[in-house]
Every structure is written in structure tokens, then in C-alpha cells.
Amino acid sequence: MFDFPQLSAFRGGNGKVRVIGHRGAREIMPENTIEGFEFTLSLGVKALEFDVLLTADQVPVITHNHRVSAAATRNPDGQWLQGIEPKVATLSLAQLQELDVGGLDGRTRYGQKFSDQAFLNGVRVPSLTALLELVTKTAYLDVFLMLELKSDPLIKEKTHEYNQLVSAVVAL
């Protein structure tokens, strides 16, 4: 078996359990948001897990789904998204950040599943840069990040897409 010393931050051990903030603290705070990550870190959690996708203008952003979730997204007028959920890859960072992801629509199955999640206004999909800026603050220098680079499962030939995503993330 291979040994990867960088993974030791995520392993438990003799009598040790590692707590990892999955998408921040998604059952308590809006998932994959700076607000959620800050809350998780304030609890003393030292590892964050999240997914990264690219916007149309090649900016790495933190979001789990390839499409903007209508159950968790309001338009600039504060109304829940309707109709076909747009793909993150078709929106620029500016377009994506016009949307508010600070709460869940309680009428949806997803909103009912996480009914205790805080409802905040003015919360945006963060860029990966925004999270990196947060964790480079002195208080968080011992935090570990576990990020998954996601590609669109509907694209059959993914080499170019993978290369773009990896290049954009490594450039940060």
C-alpha cells in the first residue's frame, strides 16, 4: 500500500476520531458557503471537505451540484429559482454571485430534510480563492482542506474539461 503523509491529517488513530466539516456544516448552516465554513472552524474543526467546479469564465467555485439548486437558491429579487436549473459552467462568476444561497426552500424535499438549517440573506456561492483567503488567516493555519474537483458527468470526453479545472485550481 502507498503511504501519503499528507493524508495523516484526515486519519483517526489510537482513540482518535477526526471530524471533517462536510460542505461546511450543512445541517446547521448554508452548505458550501464562507459563512458555513467559518461556523465549522469556530467549533474547532480542523478539516473541511467541499467540491469545486468551474464557472463559464473559468473561476473555481465551491458548490456540490453541477446545476444551481432551485431548492437552495433565490434570484436577485429574493424569489426561489423556477424552471430549468442553470449549469454552474454556463454562468460567469458575476452571474452566479447575483444568486442567494443562504437558505433552503422549506416546501421542497431537500428543504424539509434540512429544516433546522439557518436561513441567511445575502449569502453567495464562494470562489475557491475566498476560502483560501479565509484559511490563510493566522487563526486557521492548521486547517486542512479536502477538495474534490468535479467534472460534468454528461460530458463523455472529459480530458479538456479536467485539464481546465486542474489548471485553474493549481494556479491559485
Q: Print pLDDT tens along the chain (172 aa).
A: 566 666 666 666 677 777 788 888 888 999 999 999 999 999 999 999 999 999 999 999 999 999 999 999 999 999 999 999 999 999 999 999 999 999 999 999 999 999 999 999 999 999 999 999 999 999 999 999 999 888 777 666 667 777 888 888 888 8
Q: Which residue type is seen at 172?
A: L
Which residue, 31, 13, 7, is CA-closest to 21?
31
What's the maximum distance between 2 C-alpha atoms anywhere in the chain? Answer: 53
| pLDDT score of 19 | 79
Question: 0.95 cut: is pTM over it?
Answer: no
Whole-angstrom Cα distance, residue 164 to residue 159?
Answer: 9
| SS3 assignment, position 9 | helix
| pLDDT score of 6 | 62
Question: Would you tell me how many other CB atoms lie within 10 Å of the CB of residue 88?
Answer: 23
| pLDDT score of 120 | 97
Q: All domains of the chain, ordered by start, with CATH?
A: 19-170 (3.20.20.190)
The answer to whether 123 touches 98, Cβ cutoff 8 Å, is: no
